[in-house]
Amino acid sequence: MKGMRKLLVTGASGLLGNWTVALAESNCLVTPTDIIEPLHPNALKTDASGIYHLFRKLRPKTVIHTASETNVDKYKTERERVWNVVCKITPNSGI
């Protein structure tokens, strides 16, 4: 584990995030994150401020941002949740 590249994956509970974590675990020290239930088995539940604190704590070398809202109907019915995923977490992932 020592000397392994630190990788943070957002959206780890989704299809792309799950595959990304699975592929990277053998070569990287992976920290999967997500905001939805059920979480990826090792995922940390985070929001925009949680991402910031995670960056400060872990200092990942690489971030793979796979978080998204794939159900377009939720853009109409769950506007605040979609706003948090798309407009708050995405910019905070680049800190």
> Looking at residue 52, which CATH number applies to its domain?
3.40.50.720
Residue 19, pLDDT > 90, answer yes
Owning domain of residue 19: 5-92
Q: Is the backbone peptide bond immediately before 38 cis, with ω within 30 degrees of 0?
A: yes
Burial of 79 (0-12, 13-18, 19+ CB in 10 A): exposed
- Across the strands, what pairs with 62? 7
More confident residue, 34 or 85: 34
Answer whether 0.75 is exceeded by the pTM.
no
Q: What pLDDT does residue 17 have?
A: 92
Per-residue pLDDT tens digits for 25-38: 999 999 988 877 66
Phi-psi map region of 11: left, alpha, beta (phi>0 left; psi -120 to 50 alpha): left
Number of domains comprising the chain: 1
